[in-house]
Structure 1
Amino acid sequence: MNESPIDKVADLGRDIGEYIKQQRSNAKISLRQLSKLAGVSNPYLSQIERGLRKPSAEILQQIAKGLRISAEALYVQAGILDLPQGGPVVDAVRADTTLTERQKQVLLDVYESFRRENAATAAAGTATTEQPEPDNKE
């Protein structure tokens, strides 16, 4: 049996709600505490977690701030953003269930900064080695 587009949207709502509830549980924050931290009403947050409401990107950003995780993680989970391209290191970090979303994001930020630094160093090294040799004809 094929799912209709409406069913798929409903599934996304349940998925993001379950994900938020899981992150809240991992952070050991009550629904009421997250409601205050995120500036979202307690009943509305409860409806999101139960999959009855699909939050906007703005609400997801507020919830991410309250959970101290990246908004991107919630956007990906909600289907707003595609999963970023990875590689073996990125995939391993994202797959690690023992790390919080915030820890994963910090690790990935450090990893990417090292990659950018190495790429810049390599580009600078290539630029200096590509200089034409001076003529030593006398």
Structure 2
Amino acid sequence: MPETDVADDESSLAALVGGVVRALREQSGLSMRELAKRAGISQPFLSQIERGVSAPSMVTTYRLAGALGVAPGDLLPAPESERVRVVRADEGTLIPVADRPDAAIGRALHLRPNSPLEVIEYRVEPGQHIGEWFESTGVSGLYVVSGELAVEIVGAGRFRLGARDFISFPATMRDRWQLVDDKPAHVLLVIARPA
């Protein structure tokens, strides 16, 4: 796909997400200032998200969803109704881990409104930021396809995972990741919530 098409798709997605965030905020009776405070982001940044100027990172999406009392997938525009969906290697919605230029980029394979399942793929390179503390609802599962990853979970410890290792834990337990020996890693994050 040409780069201009990708850029157009991303700006279109940002505008759609911004519209959903604004509609949910207004339905909740929250001011922009109050939602920004609850989500731990600045009001100007929230304004940029709502206007479609900036797309929220994965961390910001989860913070906004928590502040609005919805699932993260509910902040994405509703897809055409499909019972079977194939996501090819060059498809999926790209979502940065954090709101900073060196953040690793995840590829959402399954992140849909009203779905109890989320699947995000990460190909993390040395120097990319992945160390944000993260928490959600439901159960988190992390599968290392290749490379090594250190996963720190508050109250449980630090776990070193290698290729084909899997870890699962309650998503309410705060966790963060770190590359091992500054080598790349390919990881699948799965979050399941009660239907």
- TMscore range, shorter length: 0.5 to 0.7
CA distance in 1 between counterparts of 2:68 and 2:114 reads 24
Match of 1:9 in 2: 10
Distance 1:84 1:46, change over 3 A: closer
CA distance in 2 between counterparts of 1:23 and 1:84 reads 13
Note the aligned Cα RMSD (angstroms). 2.8
1:77 deviates by: 3.4
User: Unaligned regions of 5+ residues in structure 1, if any?
Assistant: 87-107, 113-138
Deviations 1:65-97 (A, max 9, x none): 1111112322x43944343798xxxxxxxxxxx
CA contact (8 A) 2:65 2:72 kept: yes
> Aligned with 2:70: secondary structure?
coil
CA distance in 2 between counterparts of 1:19 and 1:84 reads 11
Higher-strand-fraction structure: 2
Deviations 1:8-52 (A, max 9, x none): 110000000000000001101010010111111000000000000
> Aligned with 1:4: secondary structure?
helix
Q: Does 1:42 align with 2:71?
A: no
Match of 2:19 in 1: 18
- Using CA pairs under 8 Å that are at least 6 residues apart, name the structure with larger relative contact order, 1 or 2: 1
Structure-1-length-normalised TM-score: 0.55
1:5 deviates by: 1.5
Higher-helix-fraction structure: 1
User: Unaligned regions of 5+ residues in structure 2, if any?
Assistant: 79-92, 94-107, 116-192
CA distance in 2 between counterparts of 1:15 and 1:72 reads 13
| Higher Cα radius of gyration | 1
Identity across matched positions, percent: 30
Aligned partner of 2:5: which letter? S
